[in-house]
Amino acid sequence: MKAKTLTALLFSTLVAATSLTATAGQDRGHHGPLAGPVMQLKGLDLTEAQKAQVKTLMEQHRASMPAKADMKAQHQQLKTLIQAENFDEAAVRAELESQQKQRLEAEISRARLQHDIYQLLTAEQKAKLAEREQKRESRLQG
């Protein structure tokens, strides 16, 4: 039983660390999780007004994301629980649930950002984006 618990804990820690790394990279330009929405816009010939609106949306999104320090503190809290002399399952469970809730909220915020950006596009730009997506899916399938 202890081996299963330890395996589950290590897996959860890996997931939490991976999420921390992915979210922490968000302000590193095109390498963060916001790369998708920005990269999809290349070649759509956005107007200056659309570019300004996208920039505003991106800034609002970044401002709503949790600070790196908060995420590092959460990671450290989990590490402290793991390294404690006695395993406190309730505390670990509460910490992981908190982290999962925060990741869910971040993903919802990201989806909202993508939706808001999509709504800025003209019908022609949406069609071009859909065509690109169809080509990408065709390449992935084979």
- State the DSSP string of 60-129: HHHHHSPPHHHHHHHHHHHHHHHHSSS--HHHHHHHHHHHHHHHHHHHHHHHHHHHHHHHHS-HHHHHHH
The pLDDT value recorded for residue 43 is 80
Domain residue extents for the chain: 2-141
Output the furthest CA–CA distance in the chain (Å, rounded).
Answer: 61
CA atoms of 103 and 110, how far apart (whole Å): 10
Q: Comparing 53 with 69, which gets the higher pLDDT?
A: 53
Is the domain covering 2-141 a CATH 3.30.1280.10 domain?
no
Sole residue written with tokens 């970044």:
62
Is residue 26 within 8 Å of residue 33, measured between CB atoms? yes
What's the average model confidence in pLDDT over 109-113? 92
The pLDDT value recorded for residue 39 is 67
pLDDT single digits (tens) 6-52: 444 444 444 444 444 444 444 444 445 555 556 678 888 899 999 99
19 Cβ contact list (under 8 Å, min separation 6): 99, 103
Sole residue written with tokens 């010939």:
45
